[in-house]
Amino acid sequence: MRDLCGGIVMIKIENFSKQYGTGKKAVDSLTLEIEAGDIYGFIGHNGAGKTTTIKAIAGVLDFEEGKILIDGHSIKDEPVVCKQMMAYIPDNPDLYEHLTGIQYLNFIGDIFDVEKKERAERIRHYGDLFDITDSFGDLISSYSHGMKQKLALISAFIHKPKVLLLDEPFVGLDPKASLDLKKLMYEICEEGGSIFFSTHVLEVAEKLCNKIAIIKEGRLMASGDMETVIQKHSLEEVFMEVIENGQ
Amino acid sequence: MGSNQTDHISSLRGLWLITKVQLLTSFGINQLKYEKNRKKRGRYIGYLLGITILMCTLIGYSGTIGFGLGFTGMADVIPSFALTITGIVTLMFTMLKSSVMLFGFRDYDMLMSLPVQNRMVITSKFICMYVINLLFTFGIMIPMGITYAIFVPEFNGLTILLWVFGMLIGPFIPMTIATMLGAIIAAVSSRFKHKNLLSIILSYVAIVGIMIYTFYANSTEKSDAAFLADVSRLSGNISAKINAIYPPARFFERSICDNQILPMLLLIVISIVWFLLFINIVAIKYNRINTRIISQNTKTKYRMQELKTSSPLIALYKKEAARFFSSVGYVINCGMGIIMALILSIISVVNGPEGMLSMFADVKTTGLNGIMSGITCAIPFFLSAVISMTCTSAVSLSLEGKSLWIIKSLPIKTEKILQSKILFNLSLGIPASIICGSLLIASFQPKSFFEGIWFLLTPIVFSFFSSIFGMLINTKLPIYDWENEITVIKQSGSSMFGIFGGMLIGIIISFIVMVLGFAGFAEIAAGGMTILVAAITIIIYKIVMRQAI
């Protein structure tokens, strides 16, 4: 699936809305396109609808209004096909605490049917990169928040996803791991993958992303190329302007 | 106001505040009050419905026993009987719960960081268990109290007051004993590397010990007694045995039967002193025990080894198995069915069919000769009912809890996730069915091949039924936002329907088969009912495979 400019659209969100119970809409008619090679930042204040959107794209959250397509496949109609291409990491990775790190990674490898040799190589590679291989034999319940975050990231990378959905991925990571993650994000995009992630760290978003979307109270306030959105200002200034004045 | 008094008031306030939060969490009161999502509200209503059904069963059972005792002129036995049953239920229930309610609970860090004394944290956890036990106590003692009032003319206002005090204070001593046992098990296990495994074994040893003790306490003096006298002695025996474990319990008997206040006052004082003693002893080592339980043994430097690959279904199955065996509360509560089935089967082999049946009826006086065929055909269903209590599928989905996002984001169909949970339940139920069925064949020695085949086929079919039925219930009544897994394992609507539903259906069918067996249709009834259960299971399976999570 290509967009008007000829880019391959990996995630297409059309008029997506989500309402919890009978209250107001958490997300209201959101429309976005994320192309192959994009590192797309998604920013907004607490409760703006970022997590709801990411969860809906990941197929974790059911929704009634709108359409979400992953590489042309509907997450509602073909969830398994879509999920095979994606990796999702929530803001607080509650992993299976009763498994050891290696058991969890092997479990993910089995589910995504990652070939045995490749699986071992990738686990070793990312484990060493994030400096966590030594702890693979321990129960996840003994891991710190940052270690769980690293393990969740490795579990995402071992099956080489085309689409990476990350909710606040830098929270809990040490400076080296943050830097390594940024490098890995660039690598994925260079290989034609797409990354859609939420963050509150605007400096990171400004430096890392080629595209940005700002959401306020469930409504998309601004989106597009980073340069077009921020122009001569900093992302922080634009964000504050949008949040306070809605412009 | 002195500083000690101020401290005392503030610690009582702290106790009230944390107990309030614990009760709101344990019973889902807030969800019922504030939850706007209809589906979620429905789940809590399902939970309440489950409790109501359980309570009605308990009230019906206790009322019938009380009425039976009164009707046969043994009303004096009712108080000791009521207290005995309450004691056993409280002892067993608290044993199953205390290991996870009191130690290694999820909100430990949060509670221990509050400016509240250890004693208050322990007391608040104890109060939560007390409230739940109180429900069972009411279910047993109110109907028995009513039957006692009907049959004893001396029953007056004072007796009512004494009975109410007895109900309120009744669970204290067995609860404290069970919690103390739980604390000892937790303290001993926490010293070892495989603390979970040791804790599971010690808990089972304690529970099975109580069961076997109760069984032998029941069965020792039955051989030469006439039925009515035997019931009277049976109650007296159990009551005496319980009194021997905690002598103050006999004060209740004296207080009610003689309408005296002093024995009740003594009971209250002894219970409170015993409780305070317990709280203060546990509080000394509380932090240390919990720290040991919560802290994990970390291995030295993991070295990459060859990875074993599996199909997605087997990978999910392995995950289920690891989840089950990692949790003491899960194994003890959900494994109880197969353990009980094994004990009953072994007792049947060692003591003969009469030995096992004497746990439920006085077979030595009534004799088995005339009705053996009917009983033999009903036994597979009874065995099935017991094995059905091992219904992991009724809680396994809820136990995904905050990790639910993992299976929801994986590229696997919901059917496969549910199949893996059913498969794990079957891997517990089917071997237990084969082992127990074979033991019972050896014990009951069925006359024909067709009479014998149901000993194996019926429990296997029932294992399928309870696993699939449990899965259906859990997809309909899931609870993911729990703080303590025991709320899912023991207190959720799905665990009640799943565990007791299968058991109840098994018992009902075993009675139907027995009645039809007495009429000479034993084999046809057993076969027909097994086929019927199999057919219902297939239908439920098709429904389950259409469920979303």
Q: What percent of chain A has pLDDT over 70?
A: 96
d(CA B399, CA B100): 14
Which candidate, B459, B489, B493, B510, places its Cα nearest to that of B391?
B489
Return the pLDDT at A64.
Answer: 85
Say if residue B49's pLDDT is above 50: yes
User: Treating both helix axes as pointing N-terminal to C-terminal, what angle do B501-518 and B372-388 enclose, rounded to 10 degrees?
Assistant: 170
A219-225: strand order across its sheet: A86-89, A163-167, A194-198, A39-43, A211-216, A219-225
Residues of chain B contacting residue A120, judged by C-beta atoms under 8 Å apart:
304, 306-307
Point out the residue among B302, B311, B409 whose CB comes nearest to the CB of A58.
B409
Say if residue A155's pLDDT is above 90: yes
Which pLDDT band holds residue B222 (cuts at 50, 70, 90)?
Answer: very low
- A9-94+160-245 classified as CATH 3.30.450.40: no
Count how many domains chain B has. 2
**Could you tell me which residue, B164 or B225, shows the higher pLDDT?**
B164
Total CB pairs under 8 A between chain A and B: 113
Residue type, B395: V
Instruction: Give the phi and the psi of residue B482 in degrees, each rounded to 5.
Output: -95, 155
Count the residues in chain B: 549
Please state the ipTM of this predicted complex. 0.89
Closest-approach residue (CA) in chain B for A61: B408
End-to-end CA distance of chain B: 57
Token couple for B176: 């404290």
Residue type, B349: V
Point out the residue among B322, B403, B411 whose CB comes nearest to the CB of A111.
B411
Residues of chain A contacting residue B295, judged by C-beta atoms under 8 Å apart:
142
A182-207 mean pLDDT: 92
DSSP annotation string for B335-363: SHHHHHHHHHHHHHHHHHHHHHHTTTS-H
Residues of chain B contacting residue A196, judged by C-beta atoms under 8 Å apart:
none
DSSP state of B37: -
Say if residue B5's pLDDT is above 80: no
Closest-approach residue (CA) in chain A for B325: A98
Return the pLDDT at A14.
Answer: 95
Residues of chain A contacting residue B327, judged by C-beta atoms under 8 Å apart:
98
In a domain, B304, yes or no: no
B488-516 mean pLDDT: 86
Which candidate, A163, A184, A201, places its Cα nearest to that of A38?
A163
Query: Contact B397/B406 with Cβ under 8 angstroms?
Result: no
- Residue B225 has a CB neighbour count (10 Å cut-off) of 16
Point out the residue among B36, B314, B548 whose CB comes nearest to the CB of A22.
B36
- B319-332 pLDDT, tens digit per residue, is 999 999 988 889 98
Q: Is B480 exposed, middle or buried (0-12, 13-18, 19+ CB in 10 A)?
A: middle
Shared domain check, B321 and B281: no
Domain boundary (B268, B294, B320) is at: B294
Shared domain check, B267 and B154: yes
Which stretches of chain B sit within 8 Å of chain A by CB? Answer: 36-38, 295-299, 301-302, 304, 306-312, 314-316, 318-319, 322-323, 326-327, 401-403, 405-406, 408-413, 548
Residues of chain B contacting residue A119, judged by C-beta atoms under 8 Å apart:
307, 309
Shared domain check, B381 and B246: no
B379-399 mean pLDDT: 94
Cβ distance B315 to A94 less than 8 Å, yes or no, reads no
Shared domain check, B227 and B320: no
Say if residue A100's pLDDT is above 80: yes
Query: Contact B166/B268 with Cβ under 8 angstroms?
Result: no
In a domain, B307, yes or no: no
Closest-approach residue (CA) in chain B for A84: B411
Domain boundary (B259, B294, B329) is at: B294
Point out the residue among A97, A116, A142 whose CB comes nearest to the CB of B309.
A116
Residue B214 domain boundaries: 3-294
Which candidate, B542, B528, B513, B500, places its Cα nearest to that of B61?
B500
**Could you tell me which residue, B368 or B188, shows the higher pLDDT?**
B188
Residues of chain B contacting residue A168, judged by C-beta atoms under 8 Å apart:
none
**Quick one: CA dihedral B421, B423, B427, B429, positive or negative?**
positive
Domain boundary (B294, B320, B346) is at: B294
Closest-approach residue (CA) in chain A for B35: A21
Cβ distance B401 to A110 less than 8 Å, yes or no, reads no
Q: Which residues pair with A224 in a beta bridge?
A: A212
Which pLDDT band holds residue B355 (cuts at 50, 70, 90)?
Answer: low
Return the pLDDT at A126.
Answer: 95
Closest-approach residue (CA) in chain B for A54: B409
Say if residue B345's pLDDT is above 50: yes
Best probe of the A interface among B299, B305, B323, by most A CBs < 10 A, is B299
Which pLDDT band holds residue B247 (cuts at 50, 70, 90)?
Answer: low
Mean pLDDT (chain B, rounded): 81
Closest-approach residue (CA) in chain A for B41: A21
- Residue A48 has a CB neighbour count (10 Å cut-off) of 22
d(CA B459, CA B438): 11
Closest-approach residue (CA) in chain A for B412: A80
Cβ distance B405 to A109 less than 8 Å, yes or no, reads no
Shared domain check, B451 and B387: yes
Which pLDDT band holds residue B197 (cuts at 50, 70, 90)?
Answer: confident
Say if residue B205's pLDDT is above 60: yes
Residue type, A53: T
Return the pLDDT at A131.
Answer: 92
Shared domain check, B280 and B317: no
Which candidate, A177, A136, A137, A135, places its Cα nearest to that of A153?
A177
Cβ distance B304 to A88 less than 8 Å, yes or no, reads no
Cα-Cα-Cα-Cα torsion B197, B199, B200, B201, nearest 10 degrees, comes to 90
Cβ distance A134 to B312 less than 8 Å, yes or no, reads no
Cβ distance A120 to B306 less than 8 Å, yes or no, reads yes
**Residue B239 host element (H or E):** helix B227-245
Shared domain check, B258 and B359: no
Say if residue B409's pLDDT is above 60: yes
Return the pLDDT at B224.
Answer: 41
A133-158 mean pLDDT: 92
d(CA B82, CA A49): 56
Which candidate, A184, A137, A177, A128, places its Cα nearest to that of A156?
A184
Residues of chain A contacting residue B296, judged by C-beta atoms under 8 Å apart:
138-139, 141-142
Three-class SS string for chain A? CECCCCCEEEEEEEEEEEECCCCCEEEEEEEEEEECCCEEEEECCCCCCHHHHHHHHHCCCCCCEEEEEECCEECCCCHHHHHHHEEEECCCCCCCCCCEHHHHHHHHHHHCCCCHHHHHHHHHHHHHHCCCHHHCCCEHHHCCHHHHHHHHHHHHHCCCCCEEEEECCCCCCCHHHHHHHHHHHHHHHHCCCEEEEECCCHHHHHHHCCEEEEEECCEEEEEEEHHHHHCCCCHHHHHHHHHHHCC
Cβ distance B304 to A136 less than 8 Å, yes or no, reads yes
Q: What percent of chain A has pLDDT over 90?
A: 74
Cβ distance A21 to B37 less than 8 Å, yes or no, reads yes
Residues of chain B contacting residue A70, judged by C-beta atoms under 8 Å apart:
none
Best probe of the A interface among B40, B197, B302, by most A CBs < 10 A, is B302
Residue type, B482: W
Return the pLDDT at B221.
Answer: 46
Instruction: Give the phi and the psi of residue A200 in degrees, each rounded to 5.
Output: -105, -10
Query: Contact B143/B62 with Cβ under 8 angstroms?
Result: yes
- B425-459 pLDDT, tens digit per residue, is 999 999 999 999 999 999 888 878 877 888 999 99
Closest-approach residue (CA) in chain B for A105: B307
Say if residue B6's pLDDT is above 80: no
Best probe of the B interface among A78, A102, A110, A138, by most B CBs < 10 A, is A110
Query: Contact B358/B350 with Cβ under 8 angstroms?
Result: no
Query: Contact B235/B77 with Cβ under 8 angstroms?
Result: yes
- B80-124 pLDDT, tens digit per residue, is 778 878 888 888 778 777 666 777 666 777 787 777 788 888 888
Token couple for B209: 């010990």
Cβ distance A94 to B405 less than 8 Å, yes or no, reads yes
B402-420 mean pLDDT: 95
d(CA A132, CA A124): 10
Which pLDDT band holds residue B236 (cuts at 50, 70, 90)?
Answer: low
Closest-approach residue (CA) in chain A for B310: A110
CA angle B404, B409, B415 (to 5 degrees): 80
Q: Is B428 exposed, middle or buried (0-12, 13-18, 19+ CB in 10 A)?
A: buried
Cβ distance A106 to B309 less than 8 Å, yes or no, reads yes
Rounded to a whole number of angstroms, the distance from the CA of B182 to the nearest CA of chain A is 22
Return the pLDDT at B85.
Answer: 80
Cβ distance A124 to B312 less than 8 Å, yes or no, reads no
B368-374 mean pLDDT: 60
Token couple for B202: 């010690």
Point out the residue among B296, B299, B307 whose CB comes nearest to the CB of A119.
B307
Which pLDDT band holds residue B220 (cuts at 50, 70, 90)?
Answer: very low
DSSP state of B371: G
Shared domain check, B342 and B232: no
Cβ distance A59 to B408 less than 8 Å, yes or no, reads yes
Shared domain check, B210 and B78: yes
Closest-approach residue (CA) in chain A for B313: A111
d(CA B242, CA B80): 10
B518-534 mean pLDDT: 86
Residues of chain B contacting residue A86, judged by C-beta atoms under 8 Å apart:
409
Which pLDDT band holds residue B481 (cuts at 50, 70, 90)?
Answer: confident
d(CA B203, CA B186): 9
Closest-approach residue (CA) in chain B for A141: B296
